[in-house]
Amino acid sequence: MATITVDGKEIEIGDNERLNVIQAADRAGVSIPFYCWHPGLSVVASCRMCLVETGTKNKETGEISMVPKLVPACQTPAKDGTVVVTNSPKVKANQNFVQEGILLDHPVDCPICDQAGECWLQDYYFEFGHQERRADIHPFTSKRRELGPHVSLFADRCVMCSRCVRFTREVSGEGELMVIDRGSHAEIDVFPGFPIDNKMSGNVNDICPVGALCSTDFLYEQRVWFLEAQNSVCTKCSTGCATQMHVNQNQLYRIQPRFNPNANDWWMCDAGRYENQFVTAPERLDGVVIRRNNAWEPLDWPHAIREVYNHVADVALNHGGSHLAVVLSPFLSCEEAYLLASYAVSILSDVTLVVGKIPVVGHDEKFKSGFTIRAEKCPNRRGVEEIVKHFGKQPLDWDGMLAKIATGEIKGAYVTGGYGDPWIDDAEAAKFEHLESLVVQDILPSPLARRAKLVLPGVTAFEKDGSYVNHAGLIQSASWGLRPHGGAHVDGQTFSDLLGRRGIYNAADVLKELAAKVPFFARCTDGVPPAGLNLVTGQEKHPLTTELGTVTHPTPTFRSEGSRMLEVETPTR
């Protein structure tokens, strides 16, 4: 073990942890301010906010020899015997001067700045700045300009930390952003005609510590202190990025990545971040409808549950279980898939369980840092497959089911959807036309729903609790942030009602049950930590058990709670 002394307090870190002084001090409960350093980017040590005094302690004599200069904590490795002083007058004077320098050219337009409330400059100035403002020169001002479809630049607020530039060079790999001009005139910009429009561009808004880069999509929509954050998981592809949805008054304002070293590190793609209009689409299904006399009639939920049973159980009981197909969509959470599969086999044990249609678009896109947008555009294929394998006598995939429908072997189907994008075309849906009974549970109208006998509205991942297993076998839990749309019920509630269970559906309880019943999920007995559990390899990169903060929030409260985000190997230039 290596022993490090931070402000007189000794802490021990592992020999192979390769922490820098910011990370080591954080372990000791001391937060060192910084702008330019980011655990996922190279070290430039240019903001000079994290300067501290360091020295080495002689193990035998206990004598401490200090380095006369200030050194950047982000660049200094924490080694055995390192002594760090973060509260000396010299350190404070530098923090003071850096804050003052940054504010020289800063417009201090916090009342109209989107970043206010989560701005590092704001927070740090209160903690480390001068009380009075000595600078009385005219600040430089500039207008907002758009660097790309999702990125707006307010150059006058920039602190030149160059995080965004490094992001485009080291993570997304496109390198659209650059620094132009020199000295105090330096600005972030793009080359004319080459906007920042890569598929990860939204991340630069997150990593900007101040209000210089703002999300055009979120701009002036909401003050951040009104937003409530809920941990979620992105359902746009099978990478399953850990996210946070920011909600106020049942309205989704933005989605940000949440640090998870097992899935997405600090990043997420623009599709997951911005393409969630389906949640509030006006055409969302919002009540149960049943086809009677060739017309749709609304139905209340208690009757709907009975009707589902009538529709599906009749087929199974009349023709035999294998003639009923129950389709488990890859958009269902594991808990829901488990309940639905349990329900299916409770009718007759040989009911055909089908893994729903797996939407695949193009190829996997791998970025420079290794972050991948996967071609498989659904969150839970792995989880649903495991459940279908466990419960189904003859598990089928979507195409296998279509074949059996064509041969007339399958006479009734209960299809669950939940796809945010159109997922079935008219020709494919027409194959279901001659079925005796067709129950569709989905969030948006589709050619299939038009042909159904009974349509049940479901909800999106933003509206329900549940766990999803990503491409690598990592299970992560998402919480609900929005109330179910219109008259829709949470899918899990519907399945729970179908099973005849009483009370409100509780995903956590169902997950425990699932863990006890299905060996693949055995590790989830005590729930799923924020960084997830890998059910395939059985080990995670960082077994995090505490609540994680987001990387964009540096306030001291966040640091003490979410300090684990810092403990990641820092790439050096």
Binding site for other proteins (CB under 8 A): 43-49, 51, 69-72, 75, 90, 93-94, 97-98, 100-102, 104-105, 133-138, 159-160, 178-179, 181-186, 573
Comparison of 92 and 450: residue with beta carbon closer to other proteins? 92
- Residue 261 burial by CB count (10 A; 0-12/13-18/19+): exposed, middle or buried? buried
CB atoms within 10 A of CB 184: 10
Q: Using CA atoms, how far apart are residues 218 and 552, in angstroms rounded to an integer? A: 15
What φ, ψ does residue 276 adopt, rounded to 5°? -125, 30
Comparison of 71 and 110: residue with beta carbon closer to other proteins? 71
Comparison of 95 and 552: residue with beta carbon closer to other proteins? 95
To other proteins, the closest distance from the beta carbon of 56 in angstroms equals 15
Comparison of 106 and 258: residue with beta carbon closer to other proteins? 106
* Residue 340 contacts residue 418 (beta carbons within 8 Å): no
To other proteins, the closest distance from the beta carbon of 104 in angstroms equals 5
In what order do the strands lie in the sheet containing 533-534?
466-469, 474-478, 533-534
H helical segments located in 326-455:
334-347, 381-391, 398-406, 426-430, 447-450
To other proteins, the closest distance from the beta carbon of 186 in angstroms equals 4
Q: Using CA atoms, how far apart are residues 231 and 257, in angstroms rounded to an integer? A: 9
To other proteins, the closest distance from the beta carbon of 130 in angstroms equals 11
Beta bridge partners of 57: 64
Q: Using CA atoms, how far apart are residues 228 and 256, in angstroms rounded to an integer? A: 12
To other proteins, the closest distance from the beta carbon of 45 in angstroms equals 5
Comparison of 119 and 565: residue with beta carbon closer to other proteins? 119
To other proteins, the closest distance from the beta carbon of 25 in angstroms equals 17
Comparison of 44 and 204: residue with beta carbon closer to other proteins? 44
What φ, ψ does residue 8 adopt, rounded to 5°? 85, -5
Comparison of 54 and 243: residue with beta carbon closer to other proteins? 54
To other proteins, the closest distance from the beta carbon of 140 in angstroms equals 8
DSSP string, 501-533: --S---HHHHHHHHHHH-GGGGGGGG---TT-E
DSSP string, 154-218: -GGG-----HHHHHHHHTS----EEEES-GGG-EEEE-TT----STTTTHHHHH-SSSSEEETTT
Comparison of 136 and 283: residue with beta carbon closer to other proteins? 136
To other proteins, the closest distance from the beta carbon of 79 in angstroms equals 13
Q: Using CA atoms, how far apart are residues 32 and 86, in angstroms rounded to an integer? A: 7
Comparison of 96 and 251: residue with beta carbon closer to other proteins? 96
To other proteins, the closest distance from the beta carbon of 90 in angstroms equals 8
H helical segments located in 300-442:
301-319, 334-347, 381-391, 398-406, 426-430
